[in-house]
Structures are given as C-alpha cells and as structure tokens.
Structure 1
C-alpha cells in the first residue's frame, strides 16, 4: 500500500542505522592498541627518521 511507504522507509532507516552503530562499536572494541613505553617510542622515532643527503 502506498500510504504505508514512509513508515517502512523509517523502519528501514532505523534498522540500517542501528546495524551501522553496532558494527562500529564492535570494531572499535575489538581492536587492540600496542602500548609502547617512552624509551621504545624514542627509539622508534629515531629508527624511522629519514636522513636526507643532498
């Protein structure tokens, strides 16, 4: 029925929106950050620096 179309569009919007939010939350909390202490950070920066030789 054409009269019911806006309601079904709204329901579809909420379903896709909730699915997207849940997917983003799951991806955010499933990713593990690697903690580096200060010495490792300094060494990593020194090793990754580029030496330009002109």
Structure 2
C-alpha cells in the first residue's frame, strides 16, 4: 500500500493543475468578454456623440 501513495499524490496534483488551468481559462474568457462589451459600449458612446 505505501507504493500507491506517491501515485495518488501525483493524480491529486494533476487534478489540481487541471482545475487551476480551467479556472484561469474561465477568468480569462470572462475578462475578455467584459473588455469586448465595454469597448463596444465606448464605441456606441462615440457614435452617439457624433
């Protein structure tokens, strides 16, 4: 059984890395979406001014 412990830790670490990567990807996509929306709003404001 002690031989299985390192493998479990490795799997846990891999799982954690995958979760972290997905979390970062979601934050990145949300941030990009918000920035795109805000830029569109700014463009609309500029067009309304003209």
What's the TM-score bracket when you normalise by the shorter of the two chains?
A: 0.5 to 0.7
- Structure label with greater radius of gyration: 1
List runs of 5+ in structure 2 lacking aligned partners: none
- For this pair of structures, how many residues does the alignment match? 38
Report the TM-score, using the length of structure 2 for normalisation: 0.64
Instruction: Tell me how far 1:6 sits from its aligned partner.
Output: 0.8
Runs of 4+ in 1 over 3 A off after TM superposition: none
Q: Counting helix residues as a fraction of each chain, which structure ranks higher? A: 2
RMSD of Structure 2 on Structure 1 (CA): 1.6
Distance in 2 between residues matched to 1:25 and 1:4, nearest whole Å? 32
Residue aligned with 1:2, SS? coil
